Amino acid sequence: MTSSDPIPSDMPDFGIKHLTAEDLAARDPGWDAANFGADTALCPSSLDEVKTIVEYCAKTATPIVTQGGRTGLAGGAASGIGQVVVMMQGMNTIREIDARTQVAVVDAGVTLAQLEYAITPLGLTVGIDLAARGSCTIGGMVATNAGGVEAFRNGVMRQRVLGVEAVLPDGTVLSDLKKVIKANEGYDVKQLLIGSEGTLGIITGVVLKLEKATGNRKTVLASTKSAGATLAYFNRLSDAFGGRLLSAEIMWHDYFATTCKELGIKRGLGLTKGETYMIADVEVLQSDDKLLNVLAQSLEADEILDAVLGKNEKESQQIWQVREDSFLIDTAFPGGCWFDISIPLGQLDVFVRDSTARIHAIDPDLRVFVMGHIGDGNLHYTIAKEDAPIPHLYGDIATALYTGLNAIGGSFSAEHGIGTEKRASLEKFADPGKLALMRGLKAAIDPQNIMNPGKVLRAQSTDAKG
């Protein structure tokens, strides 16, 4: 089947079929307008329906693009004419929750917020959290190996998933719904599906390890004079609170000041100006005394310059908005380029300083907005220019930013995945041996290349830019 062929009329109908442009326009395409490039979308509600769709597509060599909540940020859910979008949001049953063993079994289309809502009354939490929680699906989070703000203590999706159910490209059902941590039964095939971005099969069910919910959460925002000082402060909080340090996010001044301005927050919440800022959530037991003591020690040790505590839920939410409403950077400076990298923590200061200098060598007027998850060294960069979109600079900036990352043991792709956005970077920066193995696995599991073709790995017959 070529990209201009119409979708055949004998395609099985599972409720949503041959959506018109108007039907699609009425739905939320998510963060990438290209998600609705295809003219056919199906919305299965069971494993059997997914299997029938895949068998049909395997027989007719029809390319499939699986979509969850369409919140992915790497172009992995983009679709085109001649492709079939399989929307997983219709498969949204929470199959089982075992509060005693802290395990949940869910359909892939269940959203993170839906699961969190169901388990909160049981004193449990998913143990992974991100700003797209209302829309992103568990299947999409598995497919992108999502990380988020709690990854530094609970791990990324790879560490949260105990079992997976999926339909492979020939229609075979892989039912590996284990509920245990230890299962040495040969190759760990579920780990291949985790982070595969829809290129090896459609994930239909997931077994997740849950965590005990935390109690009284306090949010504190501090300004610091450098990333190194922020790291020292993070370590002090971590030593004092251990597992009760729930999240820790870093923002450089330009990011902080711009989101504050866009939110209408005056004078940066009254904080002394810093080079960097850190938001931390800690679980306090009886009173705030211990937290206040640690803050006093950090002030005395010159780690922080100033701090504000969220006195109630509303104030805490306002603090978090400054970090989570990252799209405000794009509102203020449209047409910028986004990057998502990991840096060994000891290199934070030097790497951000040096990479900013390399970016300014491309154009001194470029603005560099940096924030991220300090606990695991994952930084998100937005590079933009006042009144001038800069998509043409993506490749140059990527090279400037990624240079030296391999040598220090970092990664050019921390948590958003490869999709189409970072294919070229994967080819340039990944180990050649690993790339060859990835290509071999893809060819063995999906010989017709029908599962999300051209995502992660360039389709061998095309020369599309990645």
Ligand X SMILES: Cc1cc2nc3c(=O)[nH]c(=O)nc-3n(C[C@H](O)[C@H](O)[C@H](O)COP(=O)(O)OP(=O)(O)OC[C@H]3O[C@@H](n4cnc5c(N)ncnc54)[C@H](O)[C@@H]3O)c2cc1C
Supply the minimum distance, in Å, between the C-beta of residue 364 and ligand X: 30
For 74, 107, 131, 250, 294, the CA distances from 71, given in Å and listed in that order, are 9, 18, 10, 22, 37
The most distant pair of C-alpha atoms in the chain lies apart, rounded to whole Å, by 73
**H, E, C per residue of 295-326:** HHHHHHCCCCCEEEECCCHHHHHHHHHHHHCC
Supply the minimum distance, in Å, between the C-beta of residue 53 and ligand X: 12
Separation of alpha carbons 453 and 443, rounded Å:
11
Separation of alpha carbons 187 and 296, rounded Å:
50
Site for ligand X contains 136 (CB under 6 A): yes
* Residue whose CB is less far from ligand X, 90 or 395: 90
Site for ligand X contains 341 (CB under 6 A): no
Supply the minimum distance, in Å, between the C-beta of residue 403 and ligand X: 24
Among 67, 247, 298, 425, binds ligand X (CB under 6 A): 67
Q: Which of residues 81-120 bind ligand X (CB under 6 A)?
A: 88, 108
Site for ligand X contains 322 (CB under 6 A): no
Number of residues that bind ligand X (CB under 6 A): 37
DSSP string, 85-152: EEEGGG---EEEEETTTTEEEEETT-BHHHHHHHHGGGTEE-S---TTTTT-BHHHHHHTT---TTHH
Question: What are φ and ψ of residue 421, in 5° steps?
Answer: -55, -40
Which residue is listed with tokens 């049953």? 93
Supply the minimum distance, in Å, between the C-beta of residue 300 and ligand X: 33
Among 39, 197, 249, 303, binds ligand X (CB under 6 A): 197
Q: How far is CA 161 from the centre of its chain?
A: 15
Separation of alpha carbons 147 and 151, rounded Å:
5
Window of 127-135, 302-310, 400-408, 435-443 that interacts with ligand X by CB under 6 A:
127-135
Site for ligand X contains 198 (CB under 6 A): yes
Among 113, 131, 232, 350, binds ligand X (CB under 6 A): 131
Separation of alpha carbons 33 and 98, rounded Å:
39
* Residue whose CB is less far from ligand X, 303 or 340: 340
Site for ligand X contains 69 (CB under 6 A): yes
Site for ligand X contains 148 (CB under 6 A): yes
* Residue whose CB is less far from ligand X, 70 or 367: 70
Nearest to 169 by CA among 60, 324, 274, 25: 60
Supply the minimum distance, in Å, between the C-beta of residue 294 and ligand X: 26
Helices 348-362 and 394-402 cross at an angle (nearest 10°) of 150
Which residue is listed with tokens 């030097």? 350
Site for ligand X contains 345 (CB under 6 A): no
Window of 61-69, 293-301, 307-315, 395-403 that interacts with ligand X by CB under 6 A:
61-69
Q: Which of residues 11-50 bind ligand X (CB under 6 A)?
A: 31
In the complex, the residues that contact ligand X under the rule CB under 6 A are 31, 65-73, 76-77, 88, 108, 130-132, 135-137, 139-141, 143-144, 146-148, 197-198, 202-203, 415-416, 419, 452, 455
